[in-house]
Structure formats: C-alpha cells, structure tokens
Structure 1
C-alpha cells in the first residue's frame, strides 16, 4: 500500500465577521462592567479625600486597560494579515506621490523629533527643570514613564518581529523590527507627558489647551513621517500612538493620586506642628 504524506498544516480560517463583532462586544461589555463596578465600590466605601484618590486611580487603570484592548485588537489583526492590504495601499499611494521627493527633507527633520537622542534630551532638560523647581514627583514620573515605555516597546518589537515595508526606497535608516513603531510610541509617551506637566504649571486655561494640542500635533506629525519615509506601515504607527498615549495617561493619573497624598501628608504635618502640646499655655 503506498505511503500517503500528511497534508500540510494550514492556518485555521478566520471566524466570520459576525462572530468577531460579538467577541468585541463581549470584551467591551466586560470593560464597562468593571468601570461601573469600580465606581459603585468607590461610592460606597470611600468618602471625601479617598473618593478623589480612588477616582484618579480608576481613571488611570481605565485608560491603561482601554489602550491595551485597542492595541490587542490591532495586533491581532496585524498577525492575521487583516491590515496588510490597507497598509500596502497607503504605502503605494505615498510612494506614488509626485511631491514625495520634495517633501522628504521636511519629513526627515520631523522624524528626528522622535529619535532616541532628541527624546532623551527632552526628558533630561524637562526633568532637571521640574526637579530644580521643586516638582520632584513630576520629574520622577517623567523618567519612569519614559524608560518603562522604552522597555515595553523593545519587548513588543522582539515579540512580533514584523518585517519593515519594502515598497519603495526608504527616506531614512531603520534597524529594528516594525511593529509597534518606536518613534510613535516614544513621542506619544514623552511629548504628551511633558505637555501635561507643563500644562499643570499654566494658570490660563487657553495656555493649557494650547500646550496639549501642540504636543498632540507633534506626535501625529512624527507618526505620519514614519509612513511617509517608508519605514513603517500605518498600523505600526497607530499601535505606537495608542500604547504611548495610554501609558502616558496612566502615569498622569498616578501622579495626581500621589500629589493628593503628598499634599494631605504636608497638611497633616503642618497641623500637628501648629497644635499646642498637651498641658501647654
């Protein structure tokens, strides 16, 4: 009897779109159940100061969970190849743009704002300013957000190991794997965090909003420049912006909670010093 070779293993077919939608709805339903459950817990068990702290902590956790859920959804689509057609169509459109060579020097300068040396310089200068102006919690937060975000990005790059696009000649050099974009994630983490810390020092509301909006525009321009220069797919930079912004938001909420505890500790210590000793005049 002739020997029959086993059929080659095939990738399991993707579930129908209706099933994927139901799965997504289930995840978001669980997410909102956690939100409302946490709010009910805070409302029943916490009062006054601890309610405020609990809300800040909850906000940070929700931002982080929401960002992770969006990233996981996008990463799953990338692994399955669901984004490849869209990614390549955008890259081909960019490559065929008649103004690409003209605008390339501008995009190179913009993408430099997301390189490690520039980002580290921003972190060092901002951190020193915050430390010297007695905003030590903010300085520590900036350092923690930056370096943990950097480690997370490198781990994810090694885990996904997505090849970079080769649809047209690159306008800059790149060495590591493609997903998620390190430039986009670092820019979102650092520039959004710095903008938030700077906005906290502003007295006028319009100045606060202008600072944050300017930082977001810089982040989006850096992300767009990576696609324009051919070194990243759109899904790469989208994942980097989502993770970087979510991580920055989580760190901001943690800072607010820490600041509340620090102010409370300072107030309690001051009241203890002002109270007369027992038996005193």
Structure 2
C-alpha cells in the first residue's frame, strides 16, 4: 500500500512539474484529484481490512466492550435524544436538510450544482450500502433494540449515509465565501451530527461499533471519490483539450 501511494505521488509530482506552471488555473483541481485518489485507495484498503476481521474474537471483544460502555448511559432523556438524532440520519431527515439546502442555494448561492452533487453522493452511498449489507450478510446485535430495524447490520447505513451526505456538505461549506466563524460553526455542527448519528446506532442497540466504523469509512470513500470526479469534470469544463 505504501509503495503504491509513493509511486502515485512521485508520478504526480513529475507530471505536474512538466505540464503546469504555478499560475495555471487547472493546477488546484489536479492537486485535489490526486489527493482524493490517494485517500480513496487508502480508504478502500482500510475498509477491506476491517471487513476481513468481522468474525475475529478480537473485534468481537472490542465491539462488546464499547457497546456495554455506551448502553450503560441509557436513560429516558438520552434515549429520546438519540432517537431524534437517528431520525435525522433517515430518509425524512435528509429530505428536510435537502429542502433547506435548496432554499439556501436559491437565495444565496444562486446555483443548483451543489444540490445535485449532494443528491448524487447520497444516492451512491445508499445503493452501495444496500449491496454491501447483502454481500457481508452480518446479523444485528443480539441485545435489546430501542428502535425497529429490518435490514442487515454491516456496514451501518445511517453512519455511511451521514458521513457521505453531511461530510460532502462540510466540503461544500468550506468553499463558500461566508463569514469564517459562521463557516466553521456550521462545519463543526455537521461533524458533531455525523458522530452523534453513529453513536446513536450503538446506543439504540441496532449496530455493533464495527458496523458504524465500516459505515464511516465507506461513506468517507464516497465523499472523496465524488470530490475527485466532480473536480475532474471541472478540469474538462475549464479546458476541453486537457
């Protein structure tokens, strides 16, 4: 893996030095593409390694220890909070956020491109999660479930969708020309929401911690991969002869 990444970086450095000057407008897009490609390769490798350890005793012990610790905090107030949070990571929650994003795009950003890109990321994450669940075929935890679930366990669809959708929104917000403090506050809010949705699935008893970790990794892969694709498209739109 390290050798592969090293070869990619060396090749890119040589390519950029030969093809571009520092003031070339396409250079930032190429740099983003290369960084994204390295992260995607690393993320896929990490996801595969985690998936291969699902049936090991070591991972089972970690899952049990972390789960026992989190559910030890169960109380009515916290249960109500995590049920609310987990609903945000469901279809209704995403629809509400998308509606708000559409309004923001219409009134402030004046572009529908980012809305379409966000939908693409979410759809890709959702479809791939369904396929991965069927392929891995891991049963849900055998503890009390505080919410109703019908699908398989690994990777967590809520964790994967939250990382993909809200993670991509964090990327988009980082590019907006708004007040720095407001930008960082929104990005932090989304980051905490992603983390809370993941924890909620463990707290509610419907996922192992490794399910959530796998979902986060897979969702992050989609975020970075889509950034890569969108930047490649931007490169070709800037110069069809690239």
Q: Same fold (TM over 0.5)?
A: yes
1:37 counterpart = 2:16: no
Contact residue 60 and residue 253 of structure 1 kept, 8 A: yes
Could you list the runs of 5+ residues in structure 1 that have no partner in the other structure? 1-26, 266-281
Deviation, 1:207, is 2.6
The CA distance in 2 between the partners of 1:218 and 1:127, in whole Å, is 20
For residues 182 and 214 of structure 2, what CA distance do their matches in structure 1 show?
Answer: 29
| Paired position in structure 2 for 1:83 | 59
| Structure 1 residue 253, shift from structure 2 partner | 4.1
Residue 159, structure 1, aligned to residue 153, structure 2:
no
Higher relative CO (Cα under 8 Å, sequence separation at least 6) belongs to: 2
Segment drifting more, 213-222 vs 63-72: 63-72
**1:269 equivalent in structure 2:** none
Would you say 1:71 and 2:53 are equivalent positions? Answer: no
2:26–2:235 contact (8 Å) kept in structure 1: no
- Check conservation: 1:184, 1:237, Cα contact below 8 A: yes
Aligned match for 2:171, one of 193, 196, 200: 196
Match of 2:33 in 1: 57
Following superposition, the deviation at residue 84 of structure 1 comes to 1.1
Q: Work out whether 1:249 is the aligned partner of 2:224.
A: yes
Distance 1:259 1:40 in 2: 22
- Structure 2 CA distance, aligned partners of 1:207 and 1:56? 24
Deviations 1:76-131 (A, max 9, x none): 1114454111102222333444x445521111111111112212332344246436
2:178 is paired with a residue whose SS is coil
Change (3 A) 1:51 1:194: closer
Change (3 A) 1:204 1:129: closer
Does the residue aligned with 2:54 lie in a helix, a strand or coil? helix
Distance 2:220 2:185 in 1: 17
Cα RMSD over matched residues?
A: 2.4
Query: For residues 61 and 212 of structure 2, what CA distance do their matches in structure 1 show?
Result: 16
Q: C-alpha distance in 2, partners of 1:65/1:81?
A: 27
* 1:199 shift after superposition: 3.5
Contact 2:141 2:206 (C-alpha < 8 Å) held by counterparts? yes
Determine if contact 2:124/2:222 at 8 Å carries over to the other structure: no
Q: Structure 1 residues 189 and 227, CA, compared in 2 at 3 Å: closer, same or farther?
A: same
Residue in 1 that maps onto 2:2: 28
- TM-score of the superposition, structure 2-length normalised? 0.86
Is contact 2:12-2:34 (8 Å) kept? yes
Deviation string, structure 1 residues 144-171 (Cα, Å, up to 9, x no partner): 111111111111111001001013x111
What is the alpha-carbon distance in structure 1 between the residues aligned to residue 105 and residue 235 of structure 2? 18
Aligned to 2:69: 93
In structure 2, the partner of 1:228 is 203
Q: Which residue of the other structure, out of 209, 213, 216, is the alignment partner of 2:184?
A: 209
Question: Which ranges of structure 2 fall in alignment gaps of 5 or more residues?
Answer: none
